[in-house]
Each structure stands twice: as structure tokens, then as C-alpha cells.
Amino acid sequence: MFKCMWCGKKSYEVKEIRVLSTTPVVANRYEVSISICPEHEEKLRRFYDQVRRYALLFIVLTAIFPLGLIMSAICFGKYWWAGYLFNTNIAALGLVLIVFPFCSQSTFDFMSIATSIKLVRIMGGIIFALGSIGLVLGFPHG
Ligand SMILES: [Zn+2]
């Protein structure tokens, strides 16, 4: 009996399928085998397609976050908009995680893909809310 990687359920219906890995560099992609129950195969294939399509964009967008933090740290006390940059940066990271709820392949080993998507989206929602509240309250001041 295998465990479905999407929902985490164990069943005799779970089968192995081969899909292309989500490695960002297209040339480095390889086939991985995934155990999946029949009703989740379509969802898994669609999710993997999405991750493959946006993996690079996701990496670029999340790489902007530390840069934004460094920028706002440099600007604090010098420019009035430093606090806005700080909060916009946080809200933007939250949005990126909601739109692209991707996490590393190794995460799927200890939780199902469906759970990891939900967790990343909830995290993104909290981060987005924090940034938005900061923007509305105008805190912290630059
Ligand atoms: Zn399943």
C-alpha cells in the first residue's frame, strides 16, 4: 500500500506515476516517480505544471524580499518612505506566497502536497495582513 503524495491517504488504489521534476533550470529537469491516488492525479499534474512554469519567477520574486529589507534598513531615518517600502515589501512577499504556494520537494516527504499548499497560503495571508496593517497604520516610521 502506498501513500498518496497529494492527500496523504494510504490506499491500494494509489499508483506510481512519472512526472518531470520542478527544477527551475529546464535542462536539469528529470523524471520523478510519485505515488498518487487516481482522483488526485489531475490535480498533481496541474500543480507540477504550474510550479515548472513559474519556478524561476517565484525565485526572482522571493529574492527581491531580502533586497527590499536591506534597502529599507539603509533608508530608515533618512527618507520618510522607508517604512512604506518596508511594509510594501512584506505585503508583496505575502501576495507572492498566496499566488505561488510553492515549497521545496523535501517538504512533501513529511506532509502531503495539499497540506503544504494550504500552509504556505495561510502563511502568505498572515504576512500579507501584517504588511497591510503596517501600511495602514504607517508603522514603522521611516
Ligand atoms: Zn490522494
User: Cα dihedral sign for 42, 48, 52, 57?
Assistant: positive
Q: Please give the residue range of the domain that contains residue 114.
A: 2-137
Distance 75 CA to ligand 1 centre (A): 48
Q: How many CB atoms are closer than 10 A to CB 102?
A: 20
> How far is ligand 1, taken at its centre, from the CA of residue 38, in Å?
7
Distance 53 CA to ligand 1 centre (A): 23
In a domain, 97, yes or no: yes
Cα–Cα distance measured from residue 52 to residue 54, given in angstroms and rounded to the nearest whole number: 6
- 142 lies in some domain: no
Report how far ligand 1's centroid is from the alpha carbon of 37 (Å). Answer: 4
How far away, in angstroms, is 4 Cα from ligand 1 center?
Answer: 5
- Tens digit of each residue's pLDDT (9 = 90 or more) over 3-15: 999 999 999 999 9
Task: Give residue 142's pLDDT.
Answer: 56
* Number of helical H runs and strand E runs in the chain: 3, 4
Where residue 21 falls among pLDDT bands split at 50, 70, 90? very high
Q: Is the pLDDT of residue 23 over 80?
A: yes
Q: Is the pLDDT of residue 124 over 70?
A: yes
Distance 114 CA to ligand 1 centre (A): 9
How far, in Å, is the centroid of ligand 1 from the Cα of 6?
Answer: 5
What's the domain count of the chain? 1
pLDDT at 128: 98
Q: 28-67: per-residue pLDDT in tens?
A: 999 999 999 999 999 999 999 999 999 999 999 999 999 9
pTM of the complete model: 0.89
| Average pLDDT of the chain to the nearest whole number | 93
User: So what's the pLDDT on residue 75?
Assistant: 94
Q: Which secondary-structure segment (H or E) carries 2?
A: strand 2-3
Residue 35 lies in a domain: yes
- pLDDT tens for 76-95 read 999 999 999 999 999 999 99
**CA 12 and chain centroid, separation:** 31
Q: Determine the pLDDT at residue 103.
A: 86
